[in-house]
């Protein structure tokens, strides 16, 4: 069984955002899969997806602080600066965190740990809506 | 063909640990797959999985040293500190390295390179046992 | 439907290289898949794969500059130095960026965003040819 759906995420401010519910609502066929995998892919190079703590909002704030400190906008080695100071750091962050998640499905549900949630990582100041492709396979 | 198994890893000290053999023993059906993929997923947000050099233990020590230097426990921007100084750095490391591996299967075996082994990356001081979900698909 | 192919990439200098076309030429069966996933895996621990901007070469130069600054060859904590100063940093970069990509397939083509291309990330000074395993599944 293969199902593929496009999921459109509304614009978010720069930072890390919990989107587990939106992803699940975008691929309701997941309820029919007993054993399988859900692949979620972001079709952009300046935003990314990751899995992390779904409870405390300060964890998501600390992600933003950490990545801003570690991938600084004012580093002297950037040469690709035509699209603004947030652009090249956004590309780096996107590759460090990655463009996709593969998640196990068991008994019609994601088999995540208790504390795991899907983050949209918006690395641009004004990233606009973001497009995901969800691909579900299993039986 | 779809098979899914839970694999329980015994507690390990903070650091990087080779667990290839334990993972393979946990999903013996891999021997029946001619072409496919093995997906290994960790159900935690303060430990992760990666693939790296399976020979020298000093490579794994250097991973621990690098990530401790790069994601410092005493950074002044952490706000999520209620669970101890190792907690928020553990969340960051977990997302940088990622919660899953997808590995090709060929002729009943993982089609890894000669030097590739599966690391459990334990980012907490006292992480306890860790739970994996192994999902095997193929023909 | 499952297809698996080995793809041999010619030696590249240290740095980030667009290889989307070579990957696609190596797995022509992708044109027969209506809905599916392409998994591309690198069988090495000192090179990696990522997805990023496929237009400006200066983005790829900035990736090289960023990772050299962030994973320095002369860090005093390296102990695994027998294979040269570029070796241990290469292992770290390989795990940060990751050994594989899973990409959605729709209507016989990769469902990538307009600006997304596959990078071979060559982290060694003289890495030699690199071997990929491409695994295609779908219907």
Which residues pair with residue B53 across a beta bridge? B116
* Residue with the two structure tokens 């740990």: A113
pLDDT tens digits, C1-18? 999 999 999 999 999 999
Instruction: Select from B96, B115, B138 the Cβ nearest to the Cβ of C45.
Output: B115
pLDDT tens digits, C60-80? 999 999 999 999 999 999 999
Q: Which chains touch C (3 or more CB pairs under 8 A)?
A: A, B
Contacts of A138 in chain B (CB under 8 A): 2, 137
Phi/psi at C21 (5° precision): -65, -45
Q: Helix-strand-coil percent breakdown of chain A, rounded to 5?
A: 25, 35, 35
Contacts of B137 in chain A (CB under 8 A): 36-37, 137-138
Span between the terminal Cα atoms of chain B, in Å: 6
In a structure prediction context, what are the per-residue pLDDT tens digits for chain A, which is 139 residues long?
999 999 999 999 999 999 999 999 999 999 999 999 999 999 999 999 999 999 999 999 999 999 999 999 999 999 999 999 999 999 999 999 999 999 999 999 999 999 999 999 999 999 999 999 999 999 9
pLDDT for the residue B66: 98
pLDDT tens digits, B68-107? 999 999 999 999 999 999 999 999 999 999 999 999 999 9
Please report the ipTM that was assigned to this predicted complex.
0.98
Kindly list the strands in the beta sheet with B35-42, ordered across the sheet, starting from the edge strand earlier in the chain: B2-9, B130-138, B35-42, B100-106, B109-110
> At how many degrees (to 10) do helices C87-97 and A87-97 cross?
90
Instruction: Give the C-alpha separation, B56 to B19, whole Å.
Output: 14
State both tokens at B22. Answer: 């334990």
Contacts of A41 (CB under 8 A, 6+ apart): A49, A99, A100, A132, A133, A134, A135, C102, C103, C104, C111
Q: Please list the rounded mean pLDDT of every run of 10 residues in chain B (139 residues).
A: 98 98 98 98 98 97 98 98 97 98 98 98 98 98
User: Which chain A residue has the Cα nearest residue C69?
Assistant: A77
Q: Is the entire prediction scored with pTM above 0.95?
A: yes
Instruction: Select from A3, A88, A137 the Cβ nearest to the Cβ of C59.
Output: A88
């Amino acid at each position: 069984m293969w199902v593929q759906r496009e999921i459109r995420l509304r614009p978010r401010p720069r930072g890390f955002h919990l989107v587990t519910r939106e992803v699940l609502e975008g691929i309701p066929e997941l309820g029919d899969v007993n054993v399988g995998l859900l692949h979620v892919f972001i079709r952009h190079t300046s935003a990314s997806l990751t899995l992390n703590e779904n409870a405390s909002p300060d964890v998501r704030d600390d992600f933003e602080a950490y990545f801003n400190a570690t991938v600084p906008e004012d580093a002297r080695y950037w040469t690709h600066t035509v699209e603004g100071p947030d652009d090249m750091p956004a590309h780096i962050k996107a590759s460090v965190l990655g463009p996709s998640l593969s998640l196990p499905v068991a008994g019609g549900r994601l088999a995540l740990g208790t504390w795991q949630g899907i983050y949209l990582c918006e690395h641009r100041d004004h990233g606009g809506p973001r497009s995901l492709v969800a691909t579900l396979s299993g039986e």
